[in-house]
């Protein structure tokens, strides 16, 4: 398959590696990761931005890869759950904490939960407020990730197995 | 989803010219709603013009004291911007009560305004919907409509607009900047979205090919006490059953000025002008709040399964008015 | 009590954990064989009638589309026990969403476009999708023993009329959807007449049996793999249409085919919890002793399959009363086929019974914990059999102590923090102990390692881990010496992960195989093991011990839920502040994964109470809330401090591990505890789930 009016070659970085897939313009980042690049860590739970299982980091920010057209990502840096830990190295601290806390059962939402948590921790450190942050808090000051903050910030990731309390504990393990 | 061409625009002019030259074009922002609708077959563009990389990604103060947010500013960046958090807390709160952290990181200011209703009949191609396909009827009116409009609906359409951000913009007297083949214009945010009438297919006043380039937040509402409250079926990541944005200026025991807009009740953010008129110059009392909100909601025409929205909207509006009027005066 | 050196009971870490957190674990749709094609199904857009014509011209013209299967060209399948698996076999449309075509294409994008381009016309017939408990078409089905599913003791109606204290109330539970995070998916390929399928299933053995019958193949020519499964909650308990469609398409196209169902299709084709209308009549003496209990449940089913949501069954187990009538009725409608959803029958049934018990406590002016204690029993009311163990009272007392129940002011609407009304509620839980025959093998190898093989399915319960623990104890070796292989029909046949019976069924066979292996090894002490190892196998089929139906004991797990809620008096929004469950479910085999199962099920119960519902659209015959934006599964922010505790039971009448099932009891009673807490907080008794702001804001 080559580039034509309905397909484009898209140079981008995935987990630190330069890739140039030729993508159908209709393909989402999620489908390119899963079907073309063999990276099935990001999951398809709803395909409509309603569950968070497909969460990855693009230029360091967490996003739903099911709603991002791959063709629009030229030059962007994508990190999936497979790229969080150094190759052959130990687990990322959040991955370790999820195992320690048994913060999942079926595991299908887990890669999205972990990528989302990586993004959420960075957002809080950058002083970004959430719906439950006191509006009177200092603008720009790092937000302390209380349990209520973690719950709100990870509410874009549905876990049908109901591991939420353990997910909160796992995030606390790496933020305290 | 049919195949489509993809173009990346590098300037506003390039984008609008490309749109004018290609029938069936759509602008692509964050894609969080457009791609969703394309997968359902509701949107069927022949060309996507990617405007997410246009230099419309700044939030800046203008010489007249107003604040301009570019259309490509992501919802999360807008909510986090010091100018917004300091001066327009209602906008930051509205943004943060919508969607999820991931969606806010992708969704843009312009795209948020242009998102379509979440009415299930609109989203299902096998069902009648005058908004999606004029003349086919409305499945919701006689069907499942707990989440639908109680104000300003028409026989053709009872859909609600899903945005939280737009409700805050309506209450702040923000302006929407548009750029089209015939030049620039601005439209008040409160008038940007339409009531359905007999053209429910038209959500907004935007003309074909026009591009939203930004929103202007006026100096007049900067720094006033303001807040957003949203009632929903779960604690987060859900559309509003009803929501309210309030900007309140109190002078001692009198209301100097007030702006109220409801979400989740109508085809557009519902600016409560009647309630505002009833309150301005009057006393800051719970009775006055209740009377004013009742006067506004007297126009409600609930359907069999959504009458609850009237007391719900009344309750949250009075609660926010009371909280803002008793809070220590903001800076 | 277990000795402290045993593997069972320890909080052993989940074995597949690292694979799941790194994305290495592969699910059914994550296999990419060469030449893979993608399939996309076409759902019917009428509620009842027949397909009149199919025009696939436009679909076949879509670049990349390789074929369109419909009832006109699909191969004839063999006999299906389950009519929902007879896909594309005839023109009949029994409900909206029934699949009428399948498009196969080189890419996912082309398959989706092709599916949208198939034009189907219908001969539509009038439909009826309204659950009316008074409908004359509702009937009493047979219970699993073949008897009418209505049991009567004494003279319940007369006793009710004569009871000093009475409650006569009707509860409604809406349609609910399993919505596992992994949508149903299968990747199928045929190689020289052999079929290999990766399926998202709770039990690959049954999937293979079914495919063998449908495709008229010996089972040996089929391998079904369910290595990692992204949840099921009953909806993957038996084969679903996707696995048949994928296998059919792979055979017809000669290519491997992957079919992952779109989320929006699930509500119509993978089963749902039927809505129930439940009338409860409780009669009691002034001291709270129940004299009569009448529990009548009506649910719906489809035209093609009888599935009964047996809500009244719990009232045969919980409380003794000299007079009782417990009956399930079902009404066939033009609706999608309902099926198992976590604690089918028990979850809605206990919502109604335990809410009615709360209403009775209020009517009596009696503490609801005390009311339940006064109606405790050592024998199963319906059968008169003694319970093998029943520690309901201990769960209630322990829960009350941990929760601080004694400090509760029993008056409704007696506590508030600003506009938030605070209340607490209690409810009991129960779930039967089930077991099925299973095979397993155990091998010892010269390197000192052991391998357990059993076609168990790990749908998230941690089956690999707990079976290793079972084996380690039976072999008397450390657990890290034992490897477990599960999730393939190439392994010894085993029943599904369902009915909270997986661990008991598989574990029994594993225990048996390991015990035999240990005996063999003991006979070869000091000898070098051959390179291929030494093995033993077991099959618990026909073991009298596993035949609970013929047993002299009634076996059930019990529990108690305590909930504290805050109700916003302005908006009617309810948030759970605390949820605490105490369970008595035999010996808990893995403290870590068991806790996850309990709190997970309690979370689903929280959803049932407050957020989850769908609405049958009368005009169109489908569920209006078919996606995850409108069907509200609880999110993290909905779930507060949650605690699960247990009372370790020493019950000699169970399996060799001494365990009862734990996967479902956590959802049973949760909704009642929360609903009862809402009543305590507000003084408002809502009898229709879920308790959403629309209902509460107008009632406050």
Domains parsed from chain B with CATH numbers:
5-52 (3.30.43.10), 223-326 (3.30.390.50)
For B121, name the nearest residue in chain C, comparing CA atoms only.
Answer: C624
Domain at A70, CATH number: 3.10.20.30
Q: Distance, in angstroms, between C420 CA and closest chain B CA?
A: 13
Helices (H), A35-146: 93-100, 110-125
Residue A54 shares a structural domain with residue A113: no
For B89, name the nearest residue in chain A, comparing CA atoms only.
Answer: A135
Partner chains of A (3+ C-beta pairs under 8 Å): B, C
Distance CA A65, CA A82 (A): 14
Q: Is A97 on the interface with C (CB under 8 A)?
A: no
Q: Distance, in angstroms, between B257 CA and closest chain A CA?
A: 22
pLDDT of B330: 43
At C19, is the secondary structure helix, strand, or coil? helix
The b/e string for B22-39 (b: 16+ C-beta within 10 A; e otherwise) is: beebbbbbbbbbbbbbbb
Q: Is A72 on the interface with B (CB under 8 A)?
A: yes
| Percentage helix, strand, coil for chain C under 3-state DSSP, each rounded to 5 | 30, 25, 45
Q: Is B231 on the interface with C (CB under 8 A)?
A: yes
Residue A112 shares a structural domain with residue A168: yes
Which residues does chain A have within 8 Å of residue C592's beta carbon, measured at their own beta carbons? 102
Distance CA C114, CA C98 (A): 18
- Helix A110-125, helix A93-100: angle, nearest 10: 120
Distance CA C88, CA C51 (A): 11
Q: Is A140 on the interface with B (CB under 8 A)?
A: yes
Q: Is B236 on the interface with C (CB under 8 A)?
A: yes
Distance CA A29, CA A42 (A): 10
pLDDT of A1: 61
HEC profile of C674-688: HHHHHHHHHCCCCCE
Enter the pTM of the model: 0.98
Give the domain-ending residue among A55, A83, A111: A83
Bridge partners, residue C260, by sequence:
C185
Taking an 8 Å cut-off on Cβ atoms, the answer to whether B105 and A116 are in contact is no
Residue A98 shares a structural domain with residue A171: yes
Confidence of residue A86 (pLDDT cuts 50, 70, 90): confident
Bridge partners, residue B217, by sequence:
B67
**Residues for chain B: how many in total?**
331
The Cα angle at residue C235 between residues C233 and C240, in degrees rounded to 5: 155
Beta strands in chain B (DSSP E): 5-8, 25-28, 47-50, 59-61, 67-70, 175-180, 183-188, 211-217, 226-231, 242-251, 254-263, 270-271
pLDDT of C167: 98
CB atoms inside a 10 Å sphere around CB B12: 18
For C612: left if phi > 0, alpha if psi spans -120 to 50, otherwise beta; the answer is beta
Mean pLDDT of chain C: 97
Same fold: C37-46+48-126+178-269 with C435-550: yes
**Sign of the alpha-carbon dihedral angle for C453, C459, C464, C467:** negative
Beta strands in C569-646 (DSSP E): 574-584, 641-646
Residue A70 shares a structural domain with residue A105: no
Is residue A87 predicted with pLDDT exceeding 80?
no
User: In the predicted model, what is the mean pLDDT of residues A13-18?
Assistant: 97
For C182, name the nearest residue in chain A, comparing CA atoms only.
Answer: A45
- 8 Å CB contact between C178 and C341: yes
Q: Is C418 on the interface with B (CB under 8 A)?
A: no
Binding-face residues of A in 128-147 toward C, CB within 8 A: 132
pLDDT of C520: 96
CATH number of C37-46+48-126+178-269: 3.30.365.10
Which residues does chain B have within 8 Å of residue A140's beta carbon, measured at their own beta carbons? 82
Of C363, C373, C280, nearest in space to C320 by CA:
C373
- 8 Å CB contact between B104 and B93: no
State both tokens at C415: 């506590």
Q: Is C522 on the interface with B (CB under 8 A)?
A: no
End-to-end CA distance of chain B: 51
**Option in A8, A72, A156 nearest B28 (CB):** A72
Binding-face residues of A in 68-87 toward C, CB within 8 A: 80-82, 84-85
- pLDDT tens figures, C74-132: 999 999 899 999 999 999 999 999 999 999 999 999 999 999 999 999 999 999 999 99
Residue A117 shares a structural domain with residue A46: no
pLDDT of C542: 87
Please give the backbone phi and psi of residue C461, each rounded to the nearest 5 degrees, phi first: -80, -20
Question: Does the domain made of C435-550 have the CATH classification 1.10.10.60?
Answer: no
Taking an 8 Å cut-off on Cβ atoms, the answer to whether B312 and C45 are in contact is no
**Option in C572, C625, C629 nearest B312 (CB):** C572
Which residues does chain A have within 8 Å of residue C663's beta carbon, measured at their own beta carbons? none
Q: Is the peptide bond before B190 cis (omega within 30 degrees of 0)?
A: no
Range of the domain at A56: 7-83
**Option in A26, A47, A55 nearest B3 (CB):** A26
**Max CA pair span of chain C:** 78
Q: Chains B and C: how many Cβ contacts under 8 Å?
A: 88
Distance CA C438, CA C537 (A): 11
Binding-face residues of B in 299-318 toward C, CB within 8 A: 306-309, 311-312, 315-316, 318
Of C630, C571, C641, C572, nearest in space to C606 by CA:
C641
Which residues does chain B have within 8 Å of residue C618's beta carbon, measured at their own beta carbons? 143
Distance CA C158, CA C644 (A): 41
DSSP state letter for C263: G
Q: Distance, in angstroms, between B327 CA and closest chain C CA?
A: 15
**Sign of the alpha-carbon dihedral angle for A56, A58, A64, A69:** negative
Distance CA C203, CA C455 (A): 8
State both tokens at C552: 């002299």
Taking an 8 Å cut-off on Cβ atoms, the answer to whether A47 and B39 are in contact is yes
Query: What ipTM was predicted for this assembly?
Result: 0.98
Architecture of domain C150-176+273-433+555-697: 2-Layer Sandwich (3.30)
Residue A171 shares a structural domain with residue A97: yes
pLDDT of C2: 41
State both tokens at B113: 């305004």
C664 catalytically annotated: yes
Which residues does chain C have within 8 Å of residue B312's beta carbon, measured at their own beta carbons? 571-572, 693-694, 697
Q: Is A52 on the interface with C (CB under 8 A)?
A: no
Distance CA A2, CA C34 (A): 19
State both tokens at C21: 């957190």
Distance CA C649, CA C452 (A): 27
Residue A1 resides in a domain = no
Of C197, C187, C193, nearest in space to C490 by CA:
C197
Which residues does chain A have within 8 Å of residue C230's beta carbon, measured at their own beta carbons? 43, 106-108
Domain at A162, CATH number: 1.10.150.120
Q: Is A42 on the interface with C (CB under 8 A)?
A: yes
Of B108, B90, B89, nearest in space to B99 by CA:
B108
pLDDT of C3: 47
Given a cut of 50, the residues of chain C with pLDDT beneath it are 1-4
Give the domain-ending residue among A83, A101, A128: A83
Residue with tokens 């109470």: C609
Of B39, C654, C349, nearest in space to A26 by CA:
B39
Partner chains of B (3+ C-beta pairs under 8 Å): A, C
Which residues does chain C have within 8 Å of residue A43's beta carbon, measured at their own beta carbons? 27, 181-182, 230
At C322, is the secondary structure helix, strand, or coil? coil
- 8 Å CB contact between C666 and A163: no
Determine how β-strand B254-263 pairs with β-strand C65-70: unpaired
HEC profile of B51-112: CCCCCCCCEEECCCCCEEEECCCEHHHHHHCHHHHHHCHHHHHHHHCCCCHHHHHHCEHHHH
Distance CA C344, CA C180 (A): 16
Distance from chain centroid for Cα C570: 36
Distance CA A173, CA A141 (A): 21
Distance CA A31, CA A8 (A): 15
Q: Distance, in angstroms, between C21 CA and closest chain A CA?
A: 6
Would you list the domain boundaries of chain C? 37-46+48-126+178-269, 150-176+273-433+555-697, 435-550
State how many domains chain A has: 2
Which residues does chain B have within 8 Å of residue C615's beta carbon, measured at their own beta carbons? 144, 146
Taking an 8 Å cut-off on Cβ atoms, the answer to whether B32 and A64 are in contact is yes
Residue A30 resides in a domain = yes
> What does C465-529 look like in DSSP terms, one character per residue?
HHHHHHHHHHHTS-GGGEEEE-SBTTSPP---S-TT-HHHHHHHHHHHHHHHHHHHHHHTTTSPP
Bridge partners, residue B244, by sequence:
B229, B262
Of B141, B187, B180, B140, nearest in space to B166 by CA:
B187
Binding-face residues of B in 111-150 toward C, CB within 8 A: 118, 120, 126-127, 139, 142-144, 146
Query: What is the mean pLDDT, run by run of 10 residues, along chain B of 331 residues?
Result: 97 97 96 98 98 97 98 98 97 98 98 98 98 98 98 98 98 98 94 98 97 98 98 98 98 96 98 98 97 98 98 98 80 36
**Residues with Cβ within 8 Å of residue C296, at least 6 apart in sequence:** C278, C279, C280, C312, C325, C326, C327, C329
Of B247, B170, B183, B174, nearest in space to B215 by CA:
B174
Let me know if C537 is exposed, middle or buried by CB neighbors in 10 A (0-12, 13-18, 19+): middle
Which residues does chain C have within 8 Å of residue A97's beta carbon, measured at their own beta carbons? none
């Amino acid at each position: 398959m080559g580039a034509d009016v309905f397909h484009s070659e898209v140079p981008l970085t995935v987990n630190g590696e330069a890739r140039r897939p030729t993508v159908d313009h209709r393909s989402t980042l999620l489908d390119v990761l899963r079907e073309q690049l063999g990276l099935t860590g990001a999951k398809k739970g709803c395909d409509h931005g309603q569950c968070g299982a497909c969460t990855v980091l693009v230029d360091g920010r967490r996003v739903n890869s099911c709603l991002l057209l791959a063709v629009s990502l030229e030059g962007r840096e994508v990190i999936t759950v497979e790229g969080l830990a150094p190759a052959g190295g130990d687990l990322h601290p959040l991955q370790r904490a999820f195992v320690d806390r048994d913060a999942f059962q079926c595991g299908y939402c887990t890669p999205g939960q972990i990528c989302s948590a990586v993004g959420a921790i960075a957002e809080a450190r950058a002083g970004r407020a959430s719906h439950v942050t006191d509006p009177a808090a200092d603008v720009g000051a790092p937000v302390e990730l209380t349990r209520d903050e973690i719950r709100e910030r990870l509410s874009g990731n549905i876990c049908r197995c109901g591991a939420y309390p353990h997910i909160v504990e796992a995030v606390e393990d790496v933020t305290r | 989803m049919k195949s489509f061409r993809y173009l990346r625009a590098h300037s506003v002019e390039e984008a609008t010219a490309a749109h004018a030259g290609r029938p069936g074009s759509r602008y692509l922002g964050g894609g969080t709603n457009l791609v969703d609708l394309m997968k359902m077959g509701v949107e069927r563009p022949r060309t996507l013009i990617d405007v997410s990389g246009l230099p419309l990604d700044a939030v800046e103060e203008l010489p007249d004291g107003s604040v301009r947010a570019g259309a490509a500013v992501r919802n999360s960046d807008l909510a986090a911007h010091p100018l917004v958090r300091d001066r327009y807390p209602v906008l930051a709160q509205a943004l943060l009560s919508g969607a999820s952290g991931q969606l806010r990181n992708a969704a843009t200011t312009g795209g948020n305004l242009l998102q379509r209703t979440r009415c299930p009949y609109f989203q299902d191609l096998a069902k009648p919907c005058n908004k999606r396909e004029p003349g086919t009827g409305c499945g919701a009116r006689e069907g499942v409509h707990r989440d639908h409009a109680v104000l300003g609906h028409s026989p053709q359409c009872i859909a609600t607009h899903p945005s939280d951000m737009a409700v805050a913009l309506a209450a702040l007297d923000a302006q929407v900047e548009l750029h089209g083949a015939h030049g620039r214009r601005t439209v008040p945010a409160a008038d940007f979205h339409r009531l359905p009438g007999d053209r429910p297919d038209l959500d907004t006043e935007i003309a074909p090919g026009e591009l939203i380039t930004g929103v202007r937040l006026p100096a007049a509402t900067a720094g006033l006490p303001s807040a957003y409250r949203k009632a929903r079926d779960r604690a987060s990541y859900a559309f509003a059953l009803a929501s309210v944005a309030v900007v309140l200026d109190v002078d001692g025991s009198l209301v100097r000025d007030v702006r109220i807009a409801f979400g989740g009740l109508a085809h557009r953010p519902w600016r409560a002008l009647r309630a505002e008129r009833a309150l301005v110059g009057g006393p800051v009392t719970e009775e006055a709040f209740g009377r004013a909100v009742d006067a506004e909601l007297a126009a409600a025409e609930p359907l069999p399964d959504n009458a609850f929205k009237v007391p719900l909207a009344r309750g949250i509006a009075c609660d926010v008015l009371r909280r803002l009027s008793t809070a220590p005066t903001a800076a | 009590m277990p000795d402290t050196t045993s593997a069972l009971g320890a909080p052993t870490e989940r074995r597949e954990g690292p694979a799941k957190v790194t994305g290495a674990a592969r699910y059914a749709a994550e296999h990419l064989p060469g030449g893979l094609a993608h399939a996309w199904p076409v759902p019917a857009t009428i509620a009842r009638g027949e397909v009149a014509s199919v025009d696939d011209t436009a679909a076949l013209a879509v670049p990349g589309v390789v074929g369109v299967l419909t009832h006109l060209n699909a191969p004839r399948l063999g006999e299906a026990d389950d009519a929902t698996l007879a896909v594309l076999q005839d023109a009949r449309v029994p409900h909206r969403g029934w699949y009428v075509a399948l498009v196969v294409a080189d890419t996912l994008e082309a398959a989706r476009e092709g599916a949208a381009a198939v034009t189907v016309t219908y001969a539509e017939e009038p439909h009826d999708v309204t659950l009316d408990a008074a409908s004359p078409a509702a009937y009493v089905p047979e219970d699993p023993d073949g008897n009418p599913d209505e049991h009567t003791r004494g003279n319940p109606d007369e006793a009710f009329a004569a009871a000093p204290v009475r409650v006569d109330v009707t509860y409604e539970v809406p349609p609910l959807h399993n919505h596992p995070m992994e949508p149903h998916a299968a990747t199928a390929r045929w190689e020289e007449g052999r079929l290999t399928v990766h399926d998202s299933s709770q039990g690959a053995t049954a999937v293979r049996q079914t495919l063998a019958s449908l495709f008229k193949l010996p089972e040996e020519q089929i391998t079904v793999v369910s290595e990692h499964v992204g949840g099921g909650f009953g909806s993957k308990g038996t084969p679903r249409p996707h696995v048949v469609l994928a296998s059919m398409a792979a055979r017809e196209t000669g290519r491997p085919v992957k079919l992952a169902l779109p989320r929006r299709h699930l509500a119509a084709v993978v089963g749902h919890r039927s809505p129930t209308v439940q009338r409860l009549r409780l009669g009691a003496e002034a001291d709270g002793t129940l004299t009569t209990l009448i529990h009548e449940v009506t649910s719906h089913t489809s035209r093609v399959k009888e599935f009964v949501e047996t809500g009244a069954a719990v009232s045969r187990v919980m409380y003794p009363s000299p007079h009782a009538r417990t009956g399930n009725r079902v009404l066939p409608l033009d609706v999608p086929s309902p099926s198992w959803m976590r604690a089918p029958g028990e979850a809605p049934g206990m919502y109604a019974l335990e809410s009615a018990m709360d209403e009775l406590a209020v009517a009596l002016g009696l503490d609801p914990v005390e009311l339940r204690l006064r109606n405790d029993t050592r024998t199963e009311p319906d059968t008169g059999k003694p319970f093998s163990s029943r520690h309901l009272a201990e769960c209630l007392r322990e829960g009350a102590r941990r929760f601080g129940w004694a400090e509760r002011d029993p008056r409704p609407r007696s506590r508030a923090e600003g506009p938030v009304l605070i209340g607490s509620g209690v409810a009991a839980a129960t779930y039967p102990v089930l077991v099925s025959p299973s095979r397993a093998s155990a091998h010892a190898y010269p390197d000192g390692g052991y391998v357990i093989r059993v076609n168990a399915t790990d749908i998230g319960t941690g089956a690999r881990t707990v079976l290793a623990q079972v084996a380690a104890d039976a072999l008397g070796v450390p657990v890290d010496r034992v490897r477990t292989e599960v999730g393939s029909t190439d392994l010894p046949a085993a029943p599904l992960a369902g009915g909270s019976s997986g661990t008991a069924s598989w574990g029994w066979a594993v225990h048996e195989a390991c015990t035999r292996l240990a005996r063999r090894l003991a006979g070869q002490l000091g000898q070098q093991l051959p390179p291929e190892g030494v093995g033993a196998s077991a099959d618990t089929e026909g073991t009298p011990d596993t035949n609970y139906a013929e047993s002299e004991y009634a076996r059930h797990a019990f529990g108690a839920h305590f909930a504290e809620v805050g109700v916003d008096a302005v908006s009617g929004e309810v948030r759970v502040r605390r949820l605490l469950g105490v369970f008595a479910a035999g010996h808990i085999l893995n403290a870590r994964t068991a806790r996850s199962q309990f709190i997970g099920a309690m979370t689903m119960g929280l959803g049932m109470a407050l957020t989850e519902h769908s609405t049958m659209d009368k005009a169109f015959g489908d569920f209006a809330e078919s996606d995850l934006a409108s069907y509200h599964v609880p999110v993290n922010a909905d779930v507060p401090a949650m605690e699960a505790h247990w009372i370790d039971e020493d019950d000699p009448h169970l399996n060799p591990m001494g365990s009862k099932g734990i996967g479902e009891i956590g959802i049973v009673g949760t909704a009642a505890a929360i609903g009862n807490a809402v009543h305590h907080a507000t003084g408002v008794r809502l009898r229709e789930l879920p308790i959403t702001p629309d209902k509460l804001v107008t009632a406050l």
